[in-house]
A and B are shown apart, each in its own frame.
Chain A
C-alpha cells in the first residue's frame, strides 16, 4: 500500500498529510453546503464563482502574492493570496447572486442571470490567464503551474493550507448550523419565507458568501475547475437516496468523505491526479444513485 507509506514515512508524510487533512475538511463542509447549492439550483453560480477565483489568482500573482503556490509557505503571502482571491469570488458571487435573486415580489431579471454567469466565467478566466502570463514575464513567479491551478494538486497543499481548510470549514459549518431553519425555509419557498418574516436577502447573501469562502478554500486541493464539484456532487448523489432533508444532509457528508478518501486512495495507489480522482469517484456515486433511483421509481410505478 503506497497510501500507508505516504502517510507514515517521515519526509513523505509532511508532503501528503496536509492534503489529506484538507481534503477531509473540505468534504465535511462541502457535503453540508452542497445540500443548499443543489436545493437552490446554484450549481452554475458555483461554477461562475470558482472561475472568478482564477481572475483573483492572476491579480494575486501580479501583486507578488504567488510564491505560496510555487512551493513557498510564507503566511503573509498565503494570507494575501487567500484574501485577494476571496474578494474576487465574493464580488462575482454577490453580483451574479443578486441578479438571479432579487426581491421575491418584484419582476426579476432572472433571464439575464444565466448570460451574466457565462460572461463572468469566461472573462475571469481570460483576465486570470493574461495576468498570470504577465506575472511570469515580470519574474514575479518562476513558472506558473497551470495544471495545479486548474485541477489542483495534493502536494501543493501546505500545512498552513490544511489549517485554513479546517478553520474555514468549522466557520462554515457553524454559520450553517446557526441559520439552518430560516435558510431551509428560504430555499424551499422564498416568497412564503419572506411573508413569515425570514430575511430572504440576508439568506441569499449568507449562502453566496459561504459559497465563495468554500470555493477559495477548496481550490488549492481541487483547482479552479474541480472545486465546485465538491460543492455540488455530494448532495446531488444524496438526493437520489432519500427525500428527507436531514437524511440527505447526513448522506451528503458521508458521500463526500467516502469520495475524498476513496479518490485519494486511487490517486496514491495508481498515481492518478488527486482532484480528478476525487471528482470521478463522486460522479460515480451520483451515477449509481441515479440508476438506482430510476429502477426504484420504475418499481414504485408498477
Chain B
C-alpha cells in the first residue's frame, strides 16, 4: 500500500500509531477507528479535527491515560504508560484543567513535572536549575513568583510549557493551546513553538479544532474525525478535505470557503463532485451528522 511505502524508518519516528482503534463502551461506535500515523522526530505536527472527532481520545491514549485500545502505539518504541513513567512526552493541557485556586506560585507549578520523580531525600537543585532555564526560555521569568490564580491565560500556558520543558521531554504535546488566548497571545504562541522547534529541536504536536492554530504551528497536518483522513502539509488542506473532516460542521464553520459539506461527505475524495455543487448557505443538519462514514445514504 502507498501508506506502508511512505512510512519512515523507526529511527526517525517519535510516535508510531498502527491501526489504533478505541471504544469507550464495548459495542458502542468507536471513538477512533484504525488510525495509523507516524510522528517524525523533530517535526511540527498539527492534529486537526472537529469536537467529538477523537482528538482528545487519541491524546489520552498517547499519554497513557486511557487503556484498552487495539492496535499499537509506540512512543520512542515504548508503550504509552511506560513512556509516561519516563516523562518522554511533555504534555501541555488546556488551561481549564488545573486547579487555579491552588495556593502555589507559577515557579512551583512549572517545577512539578521535573521534581515529581525525585525520591523523598533527593536534592532538587538540578531540577530547579532546569525550571529556571525553562521559565526564561518561554518568557515566564518575570511572573514566576506570582500565584497561578492571578495569571492570564497566555501566561499560564507559558508556565505549562515551561513545566513540560523542565521535565526534559523531547516531544511536546499541546491540547487546544489557543482556547481562551487572545489574538496577540496566539501569535506569540506560534512564535514560541517555532522557536522551541528551531532552538531545542523538539517534536511538537498541536491538537486543535481550530484551523488557524494548526496552520500557524505545523509543518504537517493530520485530520482526525474518528479515522485519519489526511496527513500532509497545511497548504494541501483543501476545502474539500476540511469538508470531509468536519462534515456538516464545515458548512457552518467554513461557510466562506464555499464548502458543500453535504456533497463532500457523499462523494468521498472525488474532487470534481465536491466543486460542482456549491451550496454555501446550507447549514449542518444534525441527523445527517450521526451517520457513519460509509453509510452515506442521507440523500
Contact = CB atoms under 8 A, between A and B. Distances in A.
Given A177-B120, A181-B118, A245 B98 contact: no
A189 interface: yes
Contacts of A104: 65
Contacts of A189: 93, 97-99, 112
A197 B104 contact: no
A105 B84 contact: no
A147 interface: no
Contacts of A197: 84-87, 116-117
A196 B109 contact: no
A185 B120 contact: no
B103 A194 contact: no
Contacts of B93: 189, 191-192, 195
B112 A243 contact: no
A182 to B, nearest CB: 5
A191 B116 contact: no
Contacts of A180: 120
B65 A243 contact: no
Interface string B96-109: 01110011110011
A209 B89 CA distance: 31
Interface in A182-204: 182, 184-185, 187-189, 191-198
Contacts of B160: 192
A175 to B, nearest CB: 10
Interface string B59-93: 01001111000000000000000001111010101
B59 to A, nearest CB: 9
B114 to A, nearest CB: 9
Interface string A92-114: 00000000000111110000000
Contacts of A194: 63-65, 84
A248 interface: yes
B280 interface: no
B165 to A, nearest CB: 12
Chain A interface main SS type: helix
A196 B63 CA distance: 8
A39 interface: yes
A242 interface: yes
A254 to B, nearest CB: 15
A194 B117 CA distance: 12
B47 interface: no
A177 B93 CA distance: 27
A242 B117 CA distance: 27
B204 to A, nearest CB: 16
Nearest to B160: A192
A178 interface: yes
B115 interface: yes
A188 B112 contact: yes
Contact of B108 (A192, A242, A244): A244
Interface of A: 39, 103-107, 177-182, 184-185, 187-189, 191-198, 239, 242-245, 248
Interface of B: 24, 60, 63-66, 84-87, 89, 91, 93, 97-99, 102-105, 108-109, 112-113, 115-118, 120, 147, 149-150, 160, 163, 167
Given A103-B66, A181-B115, A243-B103, 13 more contacts: A103-B65, A107-B24, A181-B112, A182-B117, A184-B104, A187-B102, A188-B98, A188-B102, A188-B104, A194-B63, A195-B64, A196-B167, A245-B105
